[in-house]
Amino acid sequence: MNVLTKDIRAYIILTALVICGLACSIVTAPKVVHWGINFPFSNLVFSIFTYPIVDCICELWGKKAARQTVLIGLGSQLLISLLIYFSIVIPHADYWTLQTEYQTILSVSGLVVLSSLLAFGISQLLDIFIYQRIKEACAGKWLWLRSNTSIFLGQIVDSSIFVLLVFHASDHKFNILLGSIIVKIVLAILMTPVIYCIVLFVNHYLEGNTLAFKGK
């Protein structure tokens, strides 16, 4: 018996990608990458698995479904952070000698978690708002314009909140912020064909079925 309809199945898969991106970002956020410019590794994850995917959901099912995905993602990110913290503080076996390394690698400060939740929540809601306004103004045309514009502005807000909070004591915070914005804008442009492919593929997969989550 087929319990899930096609539109619900597609929505779940895309939302799962967003959750995976957020889960990965919790662990990888503190690492600063140097590729000519400096930026947190989590920028790569966000630029591929969150903003473009949420825009696809907004395009396919409307802003209500996109906001729902953001709220699910935020809740999942908070739960994952709590589970990681619990795994660190719970007593370990005497013969297990990797507690220090485990804690060093997986420890996520409350500041990182709070900053990530604030940055993602605020910037994604802004992204969805801008995306929908441009879509309405353009009568559903020019997907590339609304996607890139909303992602650019959303990513700038996200980076500004996250970097200035997490790296507030670092002398390199503005350097990291600039690197974050640059890499996110570049990746957003590179992800534009992927957004088109996802939207076209899902529309073809749904074959014109009525979308249960459709809403403005």
- Give the CATH number, domain containing residue 20: 1.10.1760
pLDDT over 80 (residue 194):
yes
Report if residue 211 sits inside a domain: no
Q: Structural domain of residue 202, as residue ranges?
A: 6-88+100-206
Report if residue 142 sits inside a domain: yes
User: Residues of the chain with pLDDT > 70: what percent?
Assistant: 93
pLDDT value of residue 1: 46
Quick one: pLDDT band at residue 216, thresholds 50, 70, 90? Answer: very low
pLDDT value of residue 23: 85
pLDDT value of residue 215: 44
Report if residue 94 sits inside a domain: no
pLDDT value of residue 69: 95
pTM above 0.95, yes or no: no
Helices (H) and strands (E) in the chain, counts: 8, 2
Beta-bridged to residue 33, according to DSSP, are 39
Q: State how many domains the chain has.
A: 1
Report whether 35 contacts 178 (CB < 8 A).
no
Beta-bridged to residue 39, according to DSSP, are 33
Tens digit of each residue's pLDDT (9 = 90 or more) over 91-143: 888 888 888 888 877 776 677 778 888 888 898 889 999 999 998 898 878 89
Report if residue 130 sits inside a domain: yes
Report if residue 213 sits inside a domain: no
Least confident of 8-12, 34-38, 108-112, 201-205: 108-112
Task: Provide the 10 A C-beta neighbour count for residue 67.
Answer: 18
Tens digit of each residue's pLDDT (9 = 90 or more) over 43-83: 788 788 988 999 999 999 999 999 999 999 999 988 988 88
Specify the higher pLDDT residue, 196 or 109: 196
Report if residue 1 sits inside a domain: no
pLDDT over 50 (residue 30):
yes
pLDDT value of residue 61: 93
Quick one: pLDDT band at residue 208, thresholds 50, 70, 90? Answer: low
What's the rounded mean pLDDT across residues 146-155? 88
pLDDT value of residue 2: 60
Report if residue 50 sits inside a domain: yes
